[in-house]
Amino acid sequence: MTEAPTPSKAPLNAPWRATVLTLFPDMFPGPLGVSLAGRALTAGLWTLEARDIRASATDKHRSVDDTPAGGGPGMVLRADVLAAAIDAAAIAPDRPRLLMSPRGRPLTQALVQDLAAGPGPLIICGRFEGIDQRVIEARELIEVSIGDYVLSGGEIAALALIDACVRLLPGVMGKLESGTDESFSDGLLEYPQYTRPQLFEGRPIPDILLSGDHAKVAAWRRAAAEELTRARRPDLWASRSEERHEQNGTGQKTPKNTTDG
């Protein structure tokens, strides 16, 4: 699988760009046209172009797929048609070319941050049984997955990826902390949140959050995030522990805390 390049920084004042290749361009902007992403799109903080793959078909039926070589169910997107659609998009060479695929590398917050810091990707949405492997190799596509499940096509996955990136762009969110102090930003799940009313069906807001002591509140939130991560995502907790070991300045593994589970 092709490794994702480190996206170059977008030029100053250049809006972040998302170019989507799809058989259903009417699915865009969809939910990206409302709320924070929609307001930012209207304000020109980012741009979206949805291009129809079928426009690159060459026969009178505008065919984009064919039966899989070797037999089997379903249809496969043709390499020649998809390659022509990619080439017609004429994106700059520093923009990554992504293929939404359940067999791809996981879409993590770290990858989202890298993509948001760059000029914006070309995103290819597959359909049917997938796309011809040769176009993946010939156009150096980076396969990205939003989870261990199969969707009808890559459009919903592309919407999720774009939304995750757009909310990190400068000027999109009200406060910078809103994009950094949340799940996965520090390898942890986000701590529990509370707001008024102070008492809900007999359940109060934890007293420490009403104390006004910012240091104690921060410590409580940190401990709550660590507890949630250990309980719900032991894979994240293990990765975090390994990273701490590697960063240990002594060159030796840090003794494991017996409360880590």
The predicted-structure confidence for 95-138, as pLDDT tens digits, reads as follows 999 999 999 999 999 999 999 999 999 999 999 999 999 999 99
Q: How far apart are the first and last CA of the chain?
A: 34
Size of the chain, expressed as the number of residues it contains: 261
Rounded CA-CA distance 42/37 in Å is: 9
Half-sphere exposure of 79 (CA within 13 A, CB side): 12
29 Cα distance to chain centroid: 16
Q: For residue 49, give Cα distances in angstroms to 69, 76, 115, 205.
A: 32, 24, 17, 45
CB neighbour list of residue 38: distance below 8 Å, 6 or more residues apart = 29, 32
For residue range 155-197, what is the model confidence (pLDDT) as tens digits?
A: 999 999 999 999 999 999 976 555 556 667 688 999 999 999 9
CB distance 21 to 89 below 8 Å: yes
Is 72 buried (19+), middle (13-18) or exposed (0-12) by CB count in 10 A? exposed
Backbone angles phi, psi at 117, to 5 degrees: -80, -15
Say if residue 32's pLDDT is above 60.
yes
What is the model's pTM? Answer: 0.85
